Every structure is written in structure tokens, then in C-alpha cells.
Structure 1
Amino acid sequence: MKLLALEARQNATYYRSRYEQVRAYGADLYVLNGVGTPDFWPADRYRVVGSQNIEDLITEAKQWHEQERFEGIITFSESAVTAVAAVAEALGLPGVGVEAARTSRNKLLMREAHRAHDAPHPDFRFVTELSEALGAAAEFGYPVILKPTLGAASNFVFKIDDSAEMEELFPRALDGIEGMSWFEMEAHGLDLGPHGLLVESYLDGEEFLIEAVAWDEEVYLGSVVDRITVEGGTFDDDVHHAPTSLTPEQVAAVHRVVTAGVRAQGLRRSVLHAEVRFHRGEPYLLEIAIRPGGGGLDLIAEITAAHNPIRAVMDVARGATPRVRHYRPTGVHVTAMCLLCDAGRIARIDVPAEVSESEKVFFLKITASPGDVVRRPPEGNSILGFLGTTGTSLEDARATMLEYASKITVTFDRDGEAS
């Protein structure tokens, strides 16, 4: 099969490992970046447009398509899903459609769709001024969630406990989202919906992450993962465990909620990453994205539930019936976490062989590099990478993960000060 991968603006080398997975699964993969670095992908299968404008991306993709006849177009980037939908339409390739992609990308439009179609969701309000944010929070009752409409990876997402915190964090978030990388990586010239901040009511239960597929009239929950982080004021310190602790009855309730959200967002055939949180014993939608989850969730799905989100992306992109089943755990336990470090400019990262070569490590990805500036909330949400380990139980896998994470060291320039 011949597939085209697209980013309007290349996210460093973050998705190259996934591109290599696609190629390993038998695809002839071509990569088109609007703005990108040379030598990112083999030269005969790689083009850089030199522009993030959607019309320029479409023009280049059409010309390449005439030569190569792609069967489908894919992305793993939250910032590229709307651009991919637009390019797929222009090339006459399978896709979700621009309207459904925009609704699935913009958190305000997503919430409005959930409300219109009675898909369980938190209360929400789009706010442009501090006074509006304070008013919404007073109405919903503290704590509340403050989040960007076009964010990703928990950038500038805060749990706000009182009006003083809102007064402190709202202006930082409003200013920060203008330079947020996930917004800057969007294609230019597309209607992305409102760019700003939401205040949402707080859901007080546990959170679960689902890798799923919508195919015609059915939604398949391929994988269900527990978020077991001790929650604070930000949502960056992700620790995951699978198989899920949910009962079969609770999984069925999650399936009903995700299906309602899929219908609300106008999705008929799509790979899905859904996030659900329980509130007073019932599941509510946090979001349904139209790409696989990051941070090793694809590997967790395969190990713990025999579901392969990457293969699903490849199948759905070319209109082929995906190889998917309803959730059925394999019995293998894993834990995984985002690797975090202090803020500062990185001079050196050391990963001992005891960690990198361990048979218990199924996923190790260092996404930061020497010279990078790490920014931590409330100034940003940079991460060092990801680590996942296997075990005979949750406790066993988690103990190994925490031990190995402690052995990864970071040295900073200028005594750790960012510049």
C-alpha cells in the first residue's frame, strides 16, 4: 500500500518512530511537511513545501498524488488532523471530512456538538476576559478546569481551586496559548474555530484513556487504560496502567458514552483516542480525538488488549475494513509514564544500559535533546520523554518503572536556569 503522511509544520522528529512502524507494517510511506527539516525521511519519499498555507499543501499533495497515486493520507499529530481532512478531500481520498475534523480538533466545537446530541460532558463556557472566567467558575463551583480550545498534551490546562488562582493563571494561559507549539503547528488558511480558553466544570472521578475505531455503524473500544496519576493542579504528570480496573458493566457504559460522542462529532470511519472521566459514578467525555494516543498508548493497546492503533490508521486511511475487536484484555500488566524534569536548558541526558536494555522495558522514548529548553507549568509543559514497563501486576510494573525513571539523569546549563 502507498500512503502519504502530513504535518503542516514538522514536530521535530517526534513522529518518525511511528512512520517507521507504518513502513514496518508493509506500507510504502511518503512524507509531506509544510515546514520541516531536510533529511527527515528518505529523499525520494520526502518533500518540504516551504509553507504552512493549506492551499500550498494541497497543491503540492495533488502534484505528488498524480505521480504516485496514494491510497490514503495519515497523520499522528493533533495539529494536523484538520489539514489532513482538507487534503484528503482535495485528493478524493478517504477521510472524516473537514467539518468533522474541525469539530474533533476544537474543544469548544466538540463540547457544543456533545451538548447538541446529549453526549455526557462537563459544563463549559468559552471565555475571553478574566471577568467571564470568574463568572463561569462561580456558576459551576470551584474547582474548575481552564483549558485551550486548540491545545494538546495538557499545555496550559489547569485545575483552578479558587478565584485567586483564576486571577493568577488566566492571564498566563491567555498569553501562553498564542505561542503554544500545538497552535503554531496548525496549517494556515483553515477555519479552525475559536482560538481561546474554556472554563469547564470539574469531574471528580477517575480518568480512562481509550484507543478505539469507528467503522460505519459500530464503535470498537480496542484498548482501555487507567490514568493512575496523583492529580494536582496540572495534568502533565501522566502515569498509566493496563489492563483497566473497570468492570465489564463500566466498560459497557464507557462504550455507550464514546459512541454518543462519535455520533455527535459526525464521525463515521475514523481512528479514535477518547478520554473519559467518571463523575458521581457515571462516565463523561473529556475529548474524542481522531488520531491514536501518544506516549506509548499504541504499544500498551497491543500488549494488553491485542489492538494495534497504527495498523488501524493504515486501514482506515485507505478505506479498508480495520482489523479490530471489542475490548478483550490479554492479562499482561503494564505501567507507563511521562518523564519529567526541572525547567532549564538541557546540557546532557544519561540513560543507563540497565534501563535501555531491560527486558521489562517495552517503551522508552527520549523526546528532548541537549540544547532544548524545558518549560514547566505555568510557563509551559515540556516533557523529557516516556517510559513503560511490564510486570506480573500493577504493583510490580509500577515499582520497576519508578526505579528505572530515577536512574535517568538530566544535566542543565547555567545551573538549570532556562534562557
Structure 2
Amino acid sequence: MARALIQLGGTTMGSSLLYVQAAQRLGLQPINLSADPTRYDHFAAKGAETIRVDTDDLDALIRECSRLRATYDIAGITSAADAFYATASKLCRHFDLPGPDPEAIEQCLDKYTQRQLLAAAGVPMPAYRLAANAADVEDSAAEIGLPVIVKPAVGSGSVGVRLCRTADELAEHTTYLLGGKHIWRSSPRMLVEEFAQGPYYCVQIMGNEVIGIAAADFGPPPHFVFREDIFPAPLTDEEHRRIVDVSLSCLPALGLGWGPTCIELRWTKRGPVVIEVNPRLAGAPDPQIVQLAYGVDLITEHIKLATGAGWNLRRRHSHTVATRNLLPDRDGILDWIDGDTRAAAVPGVAEVKLYIEPKTPIVRKGDYRDCIGYVIAASPTLEQSKAILRHAVDLIDWSITPFEDR
């Protein structure tokens, strides 16, 4: 009987396909359960099976997995997406498979509950308030003091997250969130947070071991769209130690410590403060970055853990990786985009990925969906990697005709 890895849902731009490919390398048959299999048509070309099932219905998922057990030895169940990771962990528990604590995942995915648990453990973080309506948002911002960040209490990918520097911006974003344009995954609840200012870092953890720390920056405010990553981050020994200590203190506070965790921080005047703890592996291209830098394939090692095998997190080499997300500067119709082949041919460029094709409408949303592609460069040194990246990115160009000009 063939052994299978079941993946719940996923993201078309993220790591889901990487999980499919890693599962196959491990001799597993990848099976994707999705409410909309048409989103994963490209999985079939890779030899994966995709089955339609209501991913919000735990009983339906249990029935489908039980049916699959007649044909496959289900070795593990996981997900590459926030929205499905808690459900995947419940399926693991039901079928007695390795997985994280479902309750820990669920409470971590609620950003307000996460903040409360971290605060109780003394983890440094920005001031925050919970808001359910416009009056709550206004009062919370007055207590904390502008500028503030307003975000949905449940969500990912910076969707619905905005820096509000004035009372008008605060009112505008609150109206957006509550006016029917934002799609809520749960009842409308918002976090109003102090804007922690300083360099941004992302900590990759497997189990209780810090694998590495990335430095990143964002596109222009008021949104938080990732623009560039450096891995590993150029830190002093003392900065590295303090970030590691704060990051590891989050795990027992939230009941985490099984499998991957991704922690976002900023280095402020009072040192590292935790912005968010994600109880899963960071999305693409972060796993590729870690593999290029250290030779550690986090997706493969996660699958090994999820299927009851031992993992190996030993570094095989040490390179510096620089990444640039390609971000459009306007809305409109993409007339053309080229240079990706030339960029990929630059020595030291590890990957060039484009998500869009000519004639695609572009409507920026101020979140991860704004990214139209990325370039990854790797070399033995930071300066060399940054130079390679600049050269490669300069070779890529595109033209967007604004909608009103057509």
C-alpha cells in the first residue's frame, strides 16, 4: 500500500507546491484536500492528487481521510497555510498521527489571544487593544497614541493591515475593514497596536531550535509588503543572542515547540519586541532561502517530522542570501514583462520567479498579493549577494498602462 502525505488547502503563490515536490522525493504520494481543486490544477502535472472537500467541515475531512485509508497508508497530514493548519492538526490528533497541539495553534492564530499569552509571560511587545467597532478603534488609538497599526485579529499575509498616522487615516481604514470590503475569517475583531519602529527581523525555528534570523524591509507605508530579505541577518553576537532569547521565550508561553514556528520582531529603543508569532513554516521563498544559505531543507524536515521520521537540521554550508520581491508601482494592465531569463543567467542568481503574465490586470491591495515575482541571489558574502541581486533585478522590466488611460 502506497504511503501518502495529505496536505490541506494551500496557497497558489506559497509553499504548497514545494510540499508536493518534497513529499515525492521522500517516496510519498501527495494528496491535496481543497474546497476548490481548480486552484491546484498545476499539482496534477506534478503527480499530485487533488480532492474536493469542504475544508471548513472537520467531519467531512475525517470521512474523506478515512476513505483514503482504504487505498493509502496515510503517513502524515499537514498544511502550508495559516487558515488550514489548525484543522490539519486536529486531523492528526484524530488519526493518531504526529502533529502540533491543535489548541495551541488555534489560540496562536488569534492575534489578541496570542498577545495576552505573551504579555502574561513577560514577552516584550507593542502596546495593544482589542476593538470591535469604530468607536473602540478611535478610543484605543487615543490611549496608545498615533501612529498605530490596525489589523484584523485573525488573518495573515498583511491582509487588512495598515499603518494609521492620522485620525483621518484611522477612520478610513476602520471604514474599509468594517464596510464590507474586507473578507473576515471570523467575527469582526481588530487589533489596534503601537507602531513599533526599528529594523525588522524574522526568526525561523524548528522544534526548540533557532535555524536562522532574516532581516527584511518593506515597500512604502502605510502598508507592509515585504520588499527585500537578507539571510542570515547581519547582527552582532549580542543582538543575535537577545533575539534568540526573546523568540524562544514565546514557545512555552504559547504551547508551541513541535515543528516549525516563524516569529516576527522589530529592534526598537528597548531592544527586540515581538510583532507576531506564526505557528507554522514561513511561506515561499523563505524555505528556499534557508536551504540556499545553510543547506537545510525545512519543508522536507517538516514532512519527516509529520510522518514520524527523525529530522536532520545540521547546516551543510554557510552562504548569504539576498532576495527582492518585485512590486508594481501602479494599478493597471500589465503590457509586458521581460528580463527574467537574463536575470536567471546571472552567476549567483539562484531563482527568478514571475507570478503574472502580460495582459494581467494589476490592482494593488497592500498585502502579499501585490508581489508579482521575486529574485534570489546567493554567495559566500553579504556584499557579493547584494551586488548580484541588484544586477539581476536591474535586468527585469515591465510596463503597466493605468486603467484610466485605456
Question: Taking structure 2 as the reference length, what is the TM-score of the superposition?
Answer: 0.87
Written as runs of structure 1 = structure 2, the 5 A alignment for 1:9-28 is 11-12=11-12, 14=14, 15-28=16-29
- Call closer, same or farther: CA 1:212–1:418 in 2, change over 3 Å: farther
Corresponding residue SS for 1:23? helix
Q: Give yes or no for contact 1:149–1:196 (8 Å, CA) kept in 2.
A: yes
Alignment pair present for 1:198 and 2:201: no
> Match of 2:323?
336
- Aligned-pair distance for 1:378? 5.3
Corresponding residue SS for 1:319? coil
- Aligned-pair distance for 1:213? 1.0
Determine which of 227, 241, 253 is the counterpart of 1:238: 227
Unmatched segments (≥5 aa) in structure 2: none
Instruction: Letter of the 1:282 partner, please give it.
Output: G
- Aligned-pair distance for 1:212? 0.9
- Aligned-pair distance for 1:232? 2.8
Determine which of 136, 140, 156 is the counterpart of 2:140: 136
The CA RMSD measured in Å over matched residues stands at 2.9
> Match of 1:354?
342
Query: Once the two structures are superposed, what CA deviation does each residue of 1:246-296 show, in whole Å capped at 9, x if it has no partner?
Result: 222222222222222111221231211111212224212122212221232
CA distance in 1: counterparts of 2:405 and 2:287, whole angstroms: 33
Q: Give yes or no for contact 1:142–1:162 (8 Å, CA) kept in 2.
A: yes
Written as runs of structure 1 = structure 2, the 5 A alignment for 1:276-287 is 276-287=265-276
Written as runs of structure 1 = structure 2, the 5 A alignment for 1:114-133 is 114-133=118-137
- Aligned-pair distance for 1:409? 3.4
Corresponding residue SS for 2:138? helix
- Aligned-pair distance for 1:308? 2.4
CA distance in 1: counterparts of 2:405 and 2:36, whole angstroms: 26
Determine which of 306, 317, 340 is the counterpart of 2:306: 317
- Aligned-pair distance for 1:241? 0.8
> Match of 1:252?
241
Instruction: Letter of the 2:49 partner, please give it.
Output: Y
Q: Give yes or no for contact 1:160–1:233 (8 Å, CA) kept in 2.
A: yes
> Match of 1:95?
99
Alignment pair present for 1:35 and 2:30: no
> Match of 1:387?
375
Determine which of 194, 204, 215 is the counterpart of 1:211: 204
Unmatched segments (≥5 aa) in structure 1: 184-191
Corresponding residue SS for 2:198? coil
Written as runs of structure 1 = structure 2, the 5 A alignment for 1:139-154 is 139-154=143-158
- Aligned-pair distance for 1:221? 0.6
- Aligned-pair distance for 1:20? 1.5
Q: Give yes or no for contact 1:363–1:388 (8 Å, CA) kept in 2.
A: yes
Instruction: Letter of the 1:343 partner, please give it.
Output: D
- Aligned-pair distance for 1:384? 0.4
Instruction: Letter of the 2:263 partner, please give it.
Output: A
- Aligned-pair distance for 1:333? 2.1
Query: Once the two structures are superposed, what CA deviation does each residue of 1:312-332 show, in whole Å capped at 9, x if it has no partner?
Result: 21122123332225xx79542
> Match of 2:263?
274
CA distance in 1: counterparts of 2:302 and 2:109, whole angstroms: 17
Alignment pair present for 1:293 and 2:293: no
Alignment pair present for 1:303 and 2:292: yes
Instruction: Letter of the 2:347 partner, please give it.
Output: E
- Aligned-pair distance for 1:199? 0.7
- Mean Cα deviation higher: 120-129 or 170-179: 170-179
CA distance in 2: counterparts of 1:67 and 1:240, whole angstroms: 43
- Aligned-pair distance for 1:84? 0.9
Alignment pair present for 1:179 and 2:179: no
- Aligned-pair distance for 1:224? 0.9
- Mean Cα deviation higher: 290-299 or 351-360: 351-360
